[in-house]
Amino acid sequence: MTPDWIIAKKRDGDTLSDQEIYWVIAEFAVGRLPDYQMAALAMAIYLRGMSAEEVVSLTEAMLASGTRLAWPDLPGPTVDKHSTGGIGDKTSIILAPLLASCGLFVPMISGRGLGATGGTLDKLESIPGFRADLSIRELQSVVRRVGCAITGATDEIAPADRELYALRDVTATVASIPLITASILSKKLAEGIEYLVLDVKYGSGAFMKNLGDARRLATSLTEVGSRLGLNVSAVLSDMNQPLGCMVGNALEIKESIEVLQGTGPTDTTKLTLELSSQLMVAARVSLNKLEAIQALSSAISSGSARQKYDEMVSAQGGDPYAPLPLADTGDLCASRNGFVTQIETEMLGRAVIELGGGRKHKGDRIDHSVGFEMRVRVGDWVEQGQPYVTVYAHPPQIDRVRQLIEKAVVLDAQPPAEVAPLIGEWVHA
Ligand code: URA
């Protein structure tokens, strides 16, 4: 088989065979297929799409590039959640310890920033000492002892996704339903979990800009996931404004801790409870959603969810009480009166990258201390001169992103016609 022939086949809209998909992924995972050929194939897939059968093969091939974990003797169900990516989306960092504090086991393999969206691993690495590169043995030991761990793909676990994810990030090939489906599911299948819940985001800060595309992505994820043996469901959630107030690596850790302590923003708390309760009910830990939400809420109010977070962070080498790195702050003030009618959320993600909080090139180092606190939400009235965004940045950078933020937050004399609900429909396989 030759890579250029496989690339040309997909470029021309043909269907790739199982053998072709397996071969190309296996070669890429061991470094025998160069980045430029994989990037060309990713672009061909982005433009031409894939059949459901091709996506199943791609997912299986990516899964087969590494080990699949098994959890034969745990005293509770193994579960996980994954988001398709958004701005300010920190729910994984809250959900893993929250569910572990309720007796579920969460061996979470997560990702880094992708496109304009932030990455759970980059956020966690703001915590001094935190390691997101656990070996299989370490991951197994932390999950057994603590109940949860959050780590990244490695040479052993989903290596093909680790490489392809980093390549897609810098080659404009992220927003592809087949590539997102295979990326997420290969990692989740490698975890060896039984139950999976997916948060499929749509809107200006998501890869799927509208509800129709998000539905198609949710259908692809749930169908391929269930064909490969997972109990999986997906919720469609709004990403037309950041989730919570904080956007940026260390800032999002700070806000996650607030949610775990019961003092975080309502939207983030609500979405985390929605996703967590779905897993509690699917795994039959709770009889129904109400019972699940009561158990989760009392884990927060009793302090056991926060304690579980501390245990997880310590077990992964971090100090849960060490000060987080935070840059200097400067307020941006509204230039006129008006209602916030729209937030161009992707632009806010781009502004974080501009500040150094995300990558422009594969392998770039990240500045964990930068980001924003959003002090307004869509529908709010703002007075001229009112501080509406606080920027965390190194002083000369604040002016660099001022224009981006002013463009991103749209003010108008009339209120917005409607504000989309945060949580939309559920999609089941
Ligand atoms: N999350 C992933 O893990 N992969 C994607 O492609 C998008 C979001």
Confidence of residue 32 (pLDDT cuts 50, 70, 90): very high
- Look up 308 and say whether it is catalytic: no
> Mind giving me the DSSP string for 87-133?
SS--HHHHHHHHHHTTT-BEEEEE---BTTB--HHHHHTTSTT----
Q: Identify the helix (H) or strand (E) that includes residue 140.
A: helix 136-146
| 141 and 197 assigned to the same domain | yes
- Look up 168 and say whether it is catalytic: yes
d(CA 180, CA 214): 12
| 120 and 235 assigned to the same domain | yes
The single-letter code of the amino acid at 150 is I
- Look up 162 and say whether it is catalytic: no
Domain presence at residue 186: no
CATH of the domain at 11: 1.20.970.10
Q: Are 98 and 305 in contact (CB under 8 A)?
A: yes
CATH of the domain at 88: 3.40.1030.10
Count of domains for the chain: 3
**Cβ neighbours around 386 below 10 Å, total:** 14
| 116 and 234 assigned to the same domain | yes
| 313 and 338 assigned to the same domain | no
Question: What pLDDT is recorded for position 383?
Answer: 97
Domain presence at residue 404: yes
Confidence of residue 158 (pLDDT cuts 50, 70, 90): confident
| 235 and 375 assigned to the same domain | no
**Closest residue CA from atom 2 of ligand 1:** 184
CA of 386 to the centre of ligand 1 (A): 37
d(CA 319, CA 310): 8
Question: Which residues are bridge partners to 78 per DSSP?
Answer: 105
**Cβ neighbours around 2 below 10 Å, total:** 8
**Closest residue CA from atom 8 of ligand 1:** 84
Question: What pLDDT is recorded for position 398?
Answer: 86
Domain presence at residue 69: no
pTM, to two decimals? 0.96
| 277 and 397 assigned to the same domain | no
Pocket of ligand 1 contains residue 182 by CB under 6 Å: no
d(CA 245, CA 242): 7
* Residue 263 CA from chain centroid, whole number: 22
Percent of the chain residues past pLDDT 70, beyond the cut: 100
Q: Which of 110, 184, 239 to mutate to test the pocket of ligand 1 (most atoms within 8 A of CB)?
A: 184
| 347 and 201 assigned to the same domain | no
Q: Which of 81, 112, 168, 201 is catalytic?
A: 168
Question: What pLDDT is recorded for position 322?
Answer: 98
| 219 and 363 assigned to the same domain | no
Domain hosting 397: range is 329-412
Which residues, 6 or more positions from 38, have their beta carbon under 8 angstroms from its beta carbon?
24, 28, 163, 164, 167
Pairing of strands 371-374, 423-428: unpaired
Confidence of residue 395 (pLDDT cuts 50, 70, 90): confident
> CA-based Rg of the chain, rounded to a whole angstrom?
21
| 230 and 109 assigned to the same domain | yes
| 107 and 221 assigned to the same domain | yes
